[in-house]
Structures are given as structure tokens and as C-alpha cells.
Structure 1
Amino acid sequence: MKTLTSLAALVATPKVFAHAGDHGSHIFATLGHLFSQPDHLVMAAAGVLAGLIAVVLVRRRA
């Protein structure tokens, strides 16, 4: 698990500086930004897919 966390940190670090802007101004502005940027949508979809795969694998083991 430590290896996966380290890999995720290395992959995500360049994206932190990908675009400028204040993301903490207002909750609706933040949500609008998150749902309108393709890079955020791709990462959200990847997270949902990883979660679904994890649930399926855990249920198969049980």
C-alpha cells in the first residue's frame, strides 16, 4: 500500500502546478471548476473506477 501511495503522489505532483487560480474562493466556484476541467473529470472517473474494482474484488473474496 505504501508503494501505491508513493506512486500516486509522484504522478499527481506535476498536476498540482498545472493551472493557476484560487480554488478556495467560494464552494460553488470550486465545484464549477472541478466539474468543468477535463483533467479533474478524468481523475474523478479513475477514482470511481478504482473504487468499483476494489468493491468487486472484496466481495469476491468474501
Structure 2
Amino acid sequence: MHTTTREVILDLLIRTAAAHGAYEAEELGGVYDEQWPEWYATHMADALAARGYRLVPPVA
């Protein structure tokens, strides 16, 4: 289990990169995805939510 913010983000970035590589190969036929930042953001937000993480507003 990942316990630090860094570990959680690193694990998720590695998993997201692998998933995006598969997406480019399988769905886009190997074409570079110009919209990769949007794809990453959506994938990572969904993965974090599925693991029970959520962003909260900063305390003022």
C-alpha cells in the first residue's frame, strides 16, 4: 500500500502511462495522441476517485 502523496502519484502516473500507451496502440492505431494531457487528467481523476481519494479546498 502506498502511504505518501508522492508514492500514490508516482504509482498512478506509471499505471496511467501504461494505460495510455495501450490506448494509443489499440484505439488510435499507434498515432500520437495530441490530447494526452486531457486523457491523463481524466484517467488519473477517475483512478483516484475509485480508490477513495478526493481533492478538498484548501483551508483559508
TM-score by length of 1: 0.38
Structure 1 or 2: more helix by fraction: 1
Indicate the structure whose relative CO is greater, using CA pairs within 8 Å and at least 6 residues apart. 2
